[in-house]
Amino acid sequence: MSQSPLRSAKEVLDDHLREGQEGSVEADLSRNYAEDLVVLTSSGIYHGHDGLRQLAEKLRNELPNSVFEYRTRLVEGDVGFVEWTGHGDSSYVDDGADSYVIRNGKIVAQTIHYTVKPLSS
């Protein structure tokens, strides 16, 4: 029996963004992220699935009930880039920018940048 071909970097990134909107962190991790992932952020370096779970929880706390919009999606070879915005109950992000290294059908490295701002009342 032949093995199915690996997904392209674009397919992995598209699936990750879809999971971010509609799905679960656990489904995203299992399908789209390597277990030895490294994530670089302004708050530090995070490793593996547990590190990404911490970052997902942090974002949920900063932008409760958030809706995201992806303004730019670029993929070249094994590198991806996304510009995004997010709006939650009491805060928003208008400068989100993530980059990805995708190898063998999984995200192996990611950078994350965003600034949380309070909604004006």
Q: What is the pLDDT of residues 82-112, one digit of tens each?
A: 999 999 999 999 999 999 999 999 999 999 9
Q: What is the pLDDT of residues 14-56, one digit of tens each?
A: 999 999 888 789 999 999 999 999 999 999 999 999 999 999 9
What is the secondary structure of the chain as a DSSP string? -PPPPPPPHHHHHHHHHHHHHHS-HHHHHHHHEEEEEEEEETTEEEEHHHHHHHHHHHHHHHSTT-EEEEEEEEEETTEEEEEEEEE-SSEEEEEEEEEEEEETTEEEEEEEE---EEPP-
